[in-house]
A = this chain, B = another copy of it.
Amino acid sequence: MEEGFDGFTVEKVAARAGVSRMTVYYQFGGKQDLLNALFDHVAARGRIDRLGEAFRQPDPLDALAVFIGVFCGFWASDRVGIRRLRGWGYLRSEFESTGHERDAWRRQGLEMIVGRIRERYGVPAGDAVQDVIDVLLALTSFESYDVLVRGGREEAEVAALMTEAARAVLGVGGEAGG
């Protein structure tokens, strides 16, 4: 964080871990693998327990709101770090194949929630489900959060804004769920 991405050397990581450089290589293999592990670690930390709370909501629109709130909370916890990690991911050549796998969790969650919304509210229409899910995926991505958090919005405001926009896209704009 302090020394920028260029300052992220194996040497310094080892030093801060109170360990020799060789140990890092022994444990992780190389810098790529180290960053991969860090990426996965951060992602794992993101599947916060509170996420179950979202799916326990009886109204799927509330579930959506909580779902978005949880992710925003996670991103807010280390915005710059997550941004850099994702930026680094965009540089990798394997991104084409493995890229958005990292967002697989969010996709799964959205699919489930949209399914429930469709059951109860009848929208979106069957042939538009995949489109809507992808749009929501983009709309509620970290990058979108990063854009919205500027202009002086608090984390909660961004979450509320995202939720509102998501409802508009879903076609359940005005009427609230809770």
Contact = CB atoms under 8 A, between A and B. Distances in A.
21 contacts: A5-B91, A5-B93, A80-B96, A84-B90, A91-B91, A100-B150, A103-B147, A130-B151, A131-B161, A134-B147, A135-B161, A135-B162, A137-B147, A138-B138, A138-B139, A138-B141, A138-B148, A143-B143, A143-B144, A165-B169, A168-B168
- Contact-size category for A: 35 or more
Nearest to A82: B90
A58 interface: no
Copies of the polypeptide in the assembly: 2
> Taking chain A's interface residues, is the majority helix, strand, or loop, or is none over half, making it mixed?
helix
Contacts of A89: 87
A127 B165 CA distance: 15
Interface of A: 4-5, 80, 83-84, 86-93, 95-96, 100, 103, 130-131, 134-135, 137-139, 141, 143-144, 147-148, 150-151, 161-162, 165, 168-169, 171, 173
